[in-house]
Structure 1
Amino acid sequence: MRSVVAMMALAVLTACGGIRDDLTERPDQIGNFLLAHNIVVANDPQKGPFSRDVTDEEWKEAIQSAVQDRLGRYEGDAWYHVAVVVQAYVAAMPGVPMVYSPQSVLLVDVTFFEDATQTKLNEDPIRLTIFEPCCTPVLGSGMLRTKEEQVEGLAFNVARAVERTMRENAEWFGGVPETLADDPTIVAGDAHNDAIDQIDANSTN
């Protein structure tokens, strides 16, 4: 069993390489976007079932760093603010392979602001359901990753989700909207949906 886990972990890490490498590339600009304030709020978010404990500060630091790394690469000439609010999470505990494998997931709300006019670009917060990149359903990330690695992976995907949302709504930043291929680790949802049910549904395999 240890050999099987090790081989699957290696496969996951290999597959993740392509996703992580995208930060080394110069991005196509999104209109005139230039990152101003990078705001992350984590005020005692709901912890889902079978989850490790993650502090508000751990979420804030991880997501702010990931958003800065990704959106700080853009070189537009107009300032915009990005606000991410952490609503709920599961940082999966180790399970039993092929019997019970909790999956890590994070629920966030995102709002964009234009600095020049001090106005919101989206009237209602955009709800995003975030799963870890390259997670194996059979094992669950709790078998392969520490809590710190889970938080970092979810934060990395939050930043990707924010960037995807910006590209799909590029007219907000003076650009041309794009149609992107589906990403199963990033699910867009309405802010009024009962997204906590998605945590419960994805806690078991």
Structure 2
Amino acid sequence: MIRSSRRLLLLASLVALAACAGKTPLSEEPVEPMGEFRLVHNIVTVNNIQKVQPSRDVPPQEWDDAVTEAIQARLGRYEGSQMYHLGVNILGYSVAVPGVPVLLAPKSVVVVEASVWDDAKGGKINEKPRRFTVFESASPDLFIGSGLTKTKDEQVANLAANVALQVEKWLRENEEWFAKRPDGTAAPRQQAAAAP
């Protein structure tokens, strides 16, 4: 039994080292243009957020701040010539509490809906909001439960970063939304102020 526990601990440590070694900071990742996309307003709403038990308590404003910051960091890097707005509504979450390792290691999850607005057309691009169920990043913590290994703030930041990543992937899947307009009506760069 002790030998098995040591092997599991060694395996978890090796996976942790491998995960840390291969991670590049977002600010250093190359940015491939996404058509003429440029984020202007980044609006996160938490009016109807629900906590699903078991979960650590996360005040709505903390979700708002974390997701707004993560989306701005990821999508604010694009410098296209057309202005777009993004709305993300956080519907519910469960942030893992400490559990019994391996057997009852709960996973953190957040559910959001996203919509994109075209500034020039003055309307929403996607008719229905796109719903995402976003889990925490794969890491050795998932094996023993991030409730034991991470603070609440770290868990929320991880989920917020994954929300931003999933939204970015969705936008890339629909890159035709951001194609250069035939009439060439691109907004002057100085008009596009990043959301606070």
TM-score by length of 1: 0.78
Instruction: Indicate if the aligned counterparts of 2:46 and 2:89 stay in contact, CA closer than 8 A.
Output: yes
Q: 2:15 aligns with which of 7, 11, 14?
A: 11
1:166–1:75 Cα change, 3 Å:
same
C-alpha separation in 2, matches of 1:66 and 1:99: 32
**Equivalent position SS for 2:83:** strand
Q: Which amino acid aligns with 1:169?
A: N
Aligned twin of 1:171: 176
Indicate yes or no: 2:123 matched with 1:126.
Answer: no
- How far residue 46 of structure 1 moved from its aligned partner, in angstroms, is 1.3
1:34–1:127 Cα change, 3 Å:
same
Aligned twin of 1:160: 165
Aligned twin of 1:197: none
Instruction: Indicate if the aligned counterparts of 1:26 and 1:73 stay in contact, CA closer than 8 A.
Output: no
1:123–1:166 Cα change, 3 Å:
same
Residues 58-89 of structure 1: CA distance to partner in whole angstroms, max 9, x if unpaired?
A: 00000010011111110100000011100010
**Equivalent position SS for 1:138:** helix
Aligned twin of 1:191: none
Aligned twin of 1:21: 25
For these two proteins, the number of residue pairs brought into alignment is 175
Aligned twin of 1:108: 112
Return 82-91 or 8-17, whichever deviates more: 8-17
Aligned twin of 1:93: 97
1:148–1:3 Cα change, 3 Å:
farther
Q: Which amino acid aligns with 2:59?
A: T
**How large is the RMSD of aligned CA atoms in angstroms?**
2.3
Between the two proteins, what is the percent identity of the paired residues? 44
Q: What stretches of structure 2 of length at least 5 have no aligned partner?
A: 181-196
Aligned twin of 1:33: 37
Instruction: Indicate if the aligned counterparts of 2:26 and 2:74 stay in contact, CA closer than 8 A.
Output: no
- How far residue 18 of structure 1 moved from its aligned partner, in angstroms, is 3.7
Instruction: Indicate if the aligned counterparts of 2:41 and 2:86 stay in contact, CA closer than 8 A.
Output: yes
Q: What stretches of structure 1 of length at least 5 have no aligned partner?
A: 176-205
TM-score by length of 2: 0.81
Instruction: Indicate if the aligned counterparts of 1:9 and 1:144 stay in contact, CA closer than 8 A.
Output: no
1:39–1:63 Cα change, 3 Å:
same
Instruction: Indicate if the aligned counterparts of 1:95 and 1:101 stay in contact, CA closer than 8 A.
Output: yes
Q: Which amino acid aligns with 1:51?
A: S
Aligned twin of 2:152: 147
C-alpha separation in 2, matches of 1:151 and 1:10: 25
Q: Which amino acid aligns with 1:90?
A: S
- How far residue 119 of structure 1 moved from its aligned partner, in angstroms, is 1.0
1:52–1:9 Cα change, 3 Å:
farther
C-alpha separation in 2, matches of 1:51 and 1:108: 17
